[in-house]
Structure 1
């Protein structure tokens, strides 16, 4: 409780004075971007289905195989030779060395030439989105014309919870100590500090499953999911070949009554449960980005335009509030307001933080995660930011008209990230 009171003091005047938060995002409009040949555009994006970690069909599939599946699919769909790529960036959290060796192996499993470079990035839950930011930055700077931004995670084959070698001096610094607070406790902090009730959290979780179920049954995910042929071993040790086509975490039977029976997972008197938290998962996603002039010269389509990106810092003990500050920063940069946005994809690390962000920003619930989020679909850490961008762009395309969307993530050590995309229309 003392820690929550301390953080409450930090947040009472958050963001800090001098921060770049000049306007209320519901009432102030800056200059909107104008299209031009230097725009960073998304050409195409695909993802794997999301598997249940330890129990699902990807439990025996290595991350390099998952990553290779989406890398190949994106390039094959566009009929583009991999040697056209200037760089490849892969978001990953749990693999040793942030998956640097794994990513290069996936590169060769995809039959990409050795002359095309690849590297990895770890910004925790936002790693896949950071990969997109990195490739976009290289395009914007003129370093490359085309690049592939990816995210991948196998939470079946790698364990969470080991922060590595840390200085014993971290105990002397309050914010440093807060960086190693368990994520579930940060959820409890948000719920307590901002009065997010168990009922609100459970209702949000039920809605996530209902939305994901509708999307799955109506075939909305089919265009974005790459079929993956892999092998899985059952409890008796029998190995079989399967084709994975469908997200495994969606539970259509989820009810408020059922969630209400679950015990708190992180604190005896808490409100965060296994039912209103994201699922641990396996999956991969990839997006092809380019400079508009180069993309048009190659005759490639434009699925979306990256209009803005932002990463902000927030108190580590309240890491889930990150989107509530990153989204305004990105919207201000794009010259847009909440009312302009057709779809918000906000990571559902925990229902407490998702509900807080929705309420803080006054977001219309029907525009938030219209096809469900991580509570229903799952949250393969390094993949999720890229997965959400793929899902968002496909959803905007499905609307069939010009529109705008936002992807936003909370980040474990106390940050938030957001990107604004424009779909130019059919």
Structure 2
């Protein structure tokens, strides 16, 4: 029996500030507690909604172990004080985990299985290492040349993309500088204010003023992304050495920052919007995920973006704002050139090189940025897209309403 798909609306969208890992403001904040805090903040944006109306929470996390293991979605739902009836599911698609969580939650609503869903992501790269605590590849990965790309580090794949798509070191550094400049301008102009939820943080440090060195602690309200650097310059970026390959072009300065953060979106059907007197911010249009060779994983958006546009029935020139996650400047520029993306539409507020990349949370963080940005600038269509480890790309389309 065929079903008519329902429209899905975003009625709340918020995120934490992004902290630098491993020594930033969020280093001691557990990712489940951080997610619970952001869930409460999202619900505060929809005060007419009874939390008992939420059927499920789908949360992305790229390293679901340690302090963000044990189904962090369900734990955060309970820590946030939601009714026991609200379920929770953690999903992992590496860097696209947050965007995939939104897509999965939206699909439940679209087919009529739910009316209100939470979706988002959380990641602490301060508390869980990049590869997790006990990474283990199948020996088959190393036995055959066609599989060896699975084991390549992300930086090495960026070097391969830079060579294959002929992206110079100078262009990568210029792109990185622009990311910081745009992010700094956005902070100064208050363009992140609507999307950011302040996080109370207790910081501990030795008291040097009394000469004792004994630890003291102070409470702060963390409300500003830590990544953008005012001291970044072309000269400073040019002095950095390649870190992934001898004679390469990918440096710490033109790569995304390791980070901590969380974001949550509240999704609702048209019926739920009406019944609970909710105010839609945007409409979820659709999402596509496609694969590429693992050794050039950074080019993934090249195949995901056309697929998402075809699914949405839109052309590229109809997209007004593109949040292209900046895993590396090399892959960002390769994607932009390959697809002919307008640089003025891509990351107008900066990207992960400046703002940070808390892996499984990034897709949801960028979605929150996009939803509020479309409304603030009165634009119609926007897209969130990123490359994904082991060779994938993801792209999601949203419409301001």
Q: Which residue number corresponds to residue 92 of structure 1?
A: 61
For 1:316, the equivalent position in structure 2 comes to 294
Distance 2:146 2:119 in 1: 32
Query: 2: CA distance between counterparts of 1:400 and 1:154?
Result: 33
Instruction: Count how many residue pairs are aligned between Structure 1 and Structure 2.
Output: 388
1:26-65 alignment, distance < 5 Å: 38-65=6-33
1:82 equivalent in structure 2: 51
- Note the 1:181-200 alignment, pairs <5 A: 181-200=152-171
TM-score by length of 1: 0.88
Matching residue of 1:248: 226
1:293-347 deviation digits (Å, cap 9, x = unpaired)? 3212221111111112100000000000011111111111111112111100000
CA contact (8 A) 2:5 2:112 kept: no
In structure 2, how many angstroms separate the alpha carbons of the residues matched to 1:299 and 1:229? 30
Matches within 5 A, 1:352-367: 352-367=330-345
TM-superposed CA distance for 1:83, in Å, is 1.1
Alignment of 1:18-417 (within 5 A): 38-79=6-47, 80-96=49-65, 99-162=69-132, 164-234=135-205, 237-401=215-379, 403-417=380-394
Task: Tell whether the 8 Å contact from 1:64 to 1:106 is kept in structure 2 after alignment.
Answer: yes
Q: Distance in 2 between the 1:169 and 1:418 partners?
A: 30
**Off by >6 Å, runs of 4+ in structure 1:** none
CA contact 1:278–1:376 (8 Å) conserved in 2: yes
Contact 2:17 2:261 in 1 (8 A): yes
Q: Contact conserved, 1:38 with 1:293, CA < 8 A, in 2?
A: no
Q: Which runs of 5+ in 2 are unaligned?
A: 207-212
Against the structure 1 CA distance between its residues 386 and 175, is the aligned structure 2 distance closer, same or farther, given a 3 Å change threshold? farther
Aligned residue number for residue 3 of structure 1: none
Residue 290 of structure 1: CA displacement? 1.4
Query: For the Cα contact (< 8 Å) 1:304–1:422, is it kept in 2?
Result: yes
Gapped regions of structure 1 (runs ≥ 5): 1-35
CA distance in 2 between counterparts of 1:37 and 1:131 reads 19
1:101 CA displacement: 3.8
Q: Deviations over 1:15-45 (max 9, x none)?
A: xxxxxxxxxxxxxxxxxxxxx9821111110
Judge conservation of contact 2:103–2:286 (CA < 8 Å) in 1.
no
SS at match of 2:237: helix
Say if 2:78 and 2:84, in contact at 8 Å, map to a contact too.
yes
User: C-alpha separation between the residues in 1 aligned to 2:46 and 2:264?
Assistant: 13
Following the alignment from structure 1 to structure 2, what is the Cα–Cα distance between the partners of residues 299 and 404?
24
Name the TM-score, length of structure 2 as normaliser.
0.94
Q: Is the 8 A contact 2:57 2:74 kept in 1?
A: no
Q: Distance in 2 between matches of 1:52 and 1:355?
A: 24
Q: Deviations over 1:51-74 (max 9, x none)?
A: 011111111111011101110001
Question: Deviation at 1:143?
Answer: 1.2
Q: Is the 8 A contact 1:135 1:149 kept in 2?
A: yes
CA contact (8 A) 1:60 1:233 kept: no
